[in-house]
Amino acid sequence: MLEKQSLKFCTTRIKEFRARYDLTQEDLAKKVGIRRETIVFLEKGKYNPSLRLAHDVAKVLKISIDELFVLD
């Protein structure tokens, strides 16, 4: 029987950068225009963002996508 493999391809530094700007998950979600739960899933590595979402989050945090997401 095949084991279920994780589709996770990157880790994020969202929480780290959120802290720099003193933003809650809710604050960041509102600025990006998404639900707080999406931020939670991104931070826990349970959701791989679209390129558009990655861009939007990085833009709000004033960093590059490369700084925000680290490929595993």
Helix (H) or strand (E) run with residue 66 in it: helix 65-68
Q: Would you say 10 and 72 are in contact if contact means Cβ atoms under 8 Å apart?
A: yes
Q: How many CB atoms lie within 10 A of CB 24?
A: 11
Each residue's pLDDT tens digit, 10-68? 678 999 999 999 999 999 999 999 999 999 999 998 888 999 999 999 999 999 998 98
CATH class (in words) of the domain with range 10-71 = mainly alpha
* Structure token pair of residue 36: 């707080």
Alpha carbon distance, N-terminus to C-terminus of the chain: 26
**Residue 7: per-residue pLDDT:** 42
Q: Parse the chain into domains and list their residue ranges.
A: 10-71
Tokens 């780290």, residue?
A: 16
